[in-house]
């Protein structure tokens, strides 16, 4: 009873939080759930399955939720030996009500997600549990499978290596786990099938999003692309070599908003190196774009920070997770520029057949719920873009982690010296330490400094994330030092004492104060700071955290480079002026505001494209599943239809008509996407002309779209009229119906409608100065 009173007290504190769903209606159900436990314990496994089957048919909505949670708790206890706490059941109820639940690291979100997914499945839905990577999708599906089996719910997973048959079987399960990219790519590929029934993922009913803030906010505007071609990419090695010789501040300038441009001296140098052309007239305009891309690659994209070079290829690094972004690339021109910079062979380039943003993908599910450790900070964003509310779930045990104030230095060098000294001091006490770095280069450099200081450390970054589970398993062992890039989305808890999390080593680490987390700089989002801190103090364990920062950090330089006047540092470079911590907080808020505005601006454009895509898909699905194509040919080319029907050796003419019309629809849609990309790329020039970019985009996009269906029908009839039957068959390729011989998928790493980040930054700085006052 005392535990329940403590839970109620903590709930009162949590439900007072801004943007939090009131949990009272869920807590009122906890006694009813507890009352069902005794009866459920007496049932056999087969009887548990029968009880779940009765839930499938239940129409008693009032009793359904406590029945489901009680059954889920019993199944988890039997199958995994893990009896869900009351707070975990609150999380499951929150998700079963269509909310995003915020649960601290180590509170058992994976099990909570499984109970919620099983509940939706027992309500007759196909459920996609959307993860951030293949590893977590496979791990969680296999880990939770015994729970699903007891409840009679089928479960599968998809990953990059899955075959079409494996994907189709996984999606036919009631619950399917998959990375957001894999599910998105399957949806894109399904949009291009030409034979009814060939889709692998026809059901999109409920999405439960793991790491919901990362997927729904950080990656929301990332386009998933399906491309097709056999053409090798084109690269401009000559231009890359010219740009490599240019000197910053002399030949080009870079601003804190990550923009770069040639100076007059730089323009003259490039024009001379290219044989005396004028970059700004007709003779050089085709080279200007290549020069700008090469300059962007040289000045703004850094090896081991933005990308790795591994196995002869450029591999992008996901900035919010510090991991290799599998299948992710920049748009073709920039990708080729980076490959030329690194003197690599160009990768394939080709025509975009279709694309969709992560936000558009998730928005197509009628029901969306999610879970994460840091949702409150983006509650307004989730409400604005997804109409989702956040339910903050209290921890089962009180959080006793000690978060120390930031330590701020004037220079990055002074900061790094202090970080190494702090690690040496804490390590001398035998306390495990986790250091969160900004990127691969910083993690490697810090590890080298620690070796020089005589300290042994494990490094977890994009170079070796395949060893993640092994490294994390021992990160809580006595005296362990682990240097890692961003911990968000890694999905593995750090247990005090090592991988067992019990016994004398656990007690030893607890006595020494638990895991100590050090951040080497503030991230561009306070959520990422909180996710790093949250690795310590799990489930009531002791722990501590401290963030180091400098006035030379990227967050400060980009967000608010104007340091308060009169700031004086100590001899070691540390700043104790009370005005400086708010200054760093302010810089971080500016960047959070910029990223939100980019998201909002991108969605304004993408929303129109998605509406047009809906119309095209509605028409396309009707053609795919019906006989509209054959009816069109019979009406527009009746004589030729009869002639072909008599000449074909089988009854395939209806499918031939279908493939022709679908080909024309897909071709014209791809052309439309290319047209919109051209409009998008020039939209900032219209803004300079005092025109409203979004209005101009709509003015260009809408009339062109309305031509597609009529033009597809016209082209399809013309193609059909040219068909010939040879030996009882129709040669569609000879008639020009050429599907790509190769297709591939990737995620574009760019902000397509953000041509002026610097202006957004300055605008945000100005706005925040007005709101909060000059610091």
> Which residue ranges are tagged as binding site?
88, 106-110, 493
**Sign of CA pseudo-dihedral 110, 115, 120, 125:** positive
Distance, CA of 420 to CA of 416 (rounded, Å): 6
Running DSSP on this structure, what letter comes out for residue 365? S
Task: Compute and round to an integer the Cα radius of gyration of the chain.
Answer: 29
Contact 540, 401 (CB under 8 A): no
Helix, strand and coil percent figures for the chain, each rounded to 5 = 50, 15, 35
Is 25 exposed, middle or buried, given 0-12, 13-18 or 19+ CB atoms closer than 10 A?
Answer: exposed
Q: Is 77 helix (H, G, I), strand (E, B) or coil?
A: helix
Q: Which residues are annotated as a binding site for ATP?
A: 88, 106-110, 493
Supply φ then ψ for residue 278, to 5 degrees: -105, 115
How many CB atoms sit inside 10 A of residue 392's CB? 25
Buried b / exposed e over 749-768, threshold 16 CB at 10 Å, is beebbbbebeebbbebbeeb
Contact 371, 100 (CB under 8 A): yes
Contact 432, 501 (CB under 8 A): no
Is 775 exposed, middle or buried, given 0-12, 13-18 or 19+ CB atoms closer than 10 A?
Answer: middle
Contact 498, 507 (CB under 8 A): no
Contact 516, 543 (CB under 8 A): yes
Beta bridge partners of 352: 227
Contact 113, 404 (CB under 8 A): no
Tally helices (H) and strands (E) across the chain. 30, 26
Instruction: Write out the two tokens for 769.
Output: 């100065």
Contact 195, 216 (CB under 8 A): no
Distance, CA of 589 to CA of 559 (rounded, Å): 8
Q: Is 330 helix (H, G, I), strand (E, B) or coil?
A: coil
């Amino acid at each position: 009873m005392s535990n329940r009173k403590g839970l109620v007290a903590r709930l009162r504190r949590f439900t007072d939080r801004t943007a939090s769903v009131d949990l009272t209606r869920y807590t009122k159900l906890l006694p009813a759930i507890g009352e069902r436990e005794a009866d459920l314990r007496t049932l056999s496994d087969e009887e548990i399955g029968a009880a779940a089957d009765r839930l499938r048919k239940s129409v008693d909505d009032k009793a359904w939720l406590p029945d489901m949670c009680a059954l889920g708790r019993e199944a988890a206890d039997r199958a995994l030996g893990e009896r869900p706490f009351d707070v975990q059941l609150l999380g499951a109820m929150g998700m079963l009500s269509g909310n995003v639940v915020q649960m601290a690291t180590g509170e058992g979100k994976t099990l909570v997600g499984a109970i919620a997914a099983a509940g939706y499945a027992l309500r007759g839905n196909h459920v996609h549990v959307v993860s951030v990577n293949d590893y977590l999708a496979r791990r969680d599906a296999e880990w939770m499978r015994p729970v699903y089996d007891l409840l009679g719910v089928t479960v599968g997973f998809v990953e990059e290596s899955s075959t079409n048959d494996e994907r189709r079987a996984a999606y036919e399960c009631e619950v399917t786990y998959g990375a957001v990219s894999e599910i998105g790519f399957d949806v894109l590929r399904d949009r291009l099938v030409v034979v009814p029934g060939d889709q692998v993922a026809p059901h999109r009913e409920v999405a439960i999003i793991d790491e919901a803030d990362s997927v729904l906010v950080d990656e929301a505007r990332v386009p998933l692309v399906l491309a097709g071609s056999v053409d090798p990419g084109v690269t401009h090695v000559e231009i890359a070599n010219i740009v490599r010789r240019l000197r910053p501040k002399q030949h080009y300038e870079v601003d804190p908003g990550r923009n770069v441009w040639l100076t007059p001296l730089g323009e003259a140098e490039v024009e001379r190196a290219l044989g005396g052309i004028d970059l700004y007239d007709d003779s050089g305009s085709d080279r200007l774009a290549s020069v700008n891309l090469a300059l962007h690659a040289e000045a703004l994209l850094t090896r081991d920070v933005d990308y790795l070079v591994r196995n002869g290829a450029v591999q992008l690094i996901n900035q919010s997770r510090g991991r290799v972004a599998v299948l992710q690339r920049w748009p073709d021109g920039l990708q080729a520029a980076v490959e030329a910079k690194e003197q690599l062979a160009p990768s394939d380039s080709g025509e975009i057949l279709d694309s969709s943003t992560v936000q558009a993908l998730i928005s197509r599910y009628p029901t969306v719920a999610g879970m994460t450790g840091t949702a409150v900070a983006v509650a307004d964003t989730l409400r604005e873009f997804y109409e989702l509310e956040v339910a903050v779930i209290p921890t089962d045990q009180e959080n006793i982690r000690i978060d120390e104030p930031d330590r701020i230095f004037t220079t990055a060098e002074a900061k790094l010296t202090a970080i190494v000294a702090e690690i040496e001091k804490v390590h001398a006490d035998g306390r495990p330490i986790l250091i969160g770095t900004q990127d691969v280069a910083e993690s490697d450099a810090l590890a080298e400094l620690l070796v020089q200081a005589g300290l042994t450390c494990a490094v977890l970054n994009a170079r070796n994330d395949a060893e993640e589970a092994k490294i994390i398993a021992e990160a809580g062992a006595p005296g362990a030092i682990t240097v890692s890039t961003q911990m968000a989305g890694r999905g593995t808890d750090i247990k005090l004492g090592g991988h067992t999390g019990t016994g004398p080593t656990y007690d030893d680490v607890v006595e020494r104060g638990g895991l100590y987390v050090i951040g080497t700089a503030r991230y561009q989002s306070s959520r990422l700071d909180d996710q790093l801190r949250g690795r310590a103090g799990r489930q009531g364990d002791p722990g501590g955290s401290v963030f180091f920062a400098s006035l030379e950090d990227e967050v400060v330089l980009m967000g608010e480079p104007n340091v308060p006047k009169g700031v004086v540092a100590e001899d070691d470079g540390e700043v104790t002026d009370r005005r400086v911590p708010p200054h760093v907080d302010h810089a971080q808020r500016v960047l959070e505001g910029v990223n939100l505005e980019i998201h909002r601006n991108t969605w304004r454009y993408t929303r129109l494209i998605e509406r047009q895509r809906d119309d095209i898909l509605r028409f396309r699905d009707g053609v795919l599943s019906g006989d509209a194509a054959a009816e069109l040919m019979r009406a527009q080319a009746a004589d030729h239809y009869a002639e072909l029907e008599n000449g074909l050796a089988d009854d395939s003419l209806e499918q031939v008509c279908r493939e022709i019309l679908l080909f024309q629809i897909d071709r014209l849609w791809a052309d439309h996407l290319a047209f919109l990309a051209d409009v998008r790329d020039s939209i900032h020039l219209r803004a300079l002309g005092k025109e409203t970019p979004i209005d101009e985009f709509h003015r260009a996009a809408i009339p062109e779209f309305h031509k597609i269906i009529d033009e597809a029908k016209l082209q399809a009839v013309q193609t059909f009229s040219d068909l010939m039957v040879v030996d009882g068959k129709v040669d569609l390729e000879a008639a020009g119906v050429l599907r790509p011989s190769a297709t591939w998928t990737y995620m574009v790493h760019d902000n397509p409608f953000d041509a002026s980040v610097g202006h957004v930054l300055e605008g945000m700085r100005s706005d925040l100065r007005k709101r909060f006052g000059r610091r």
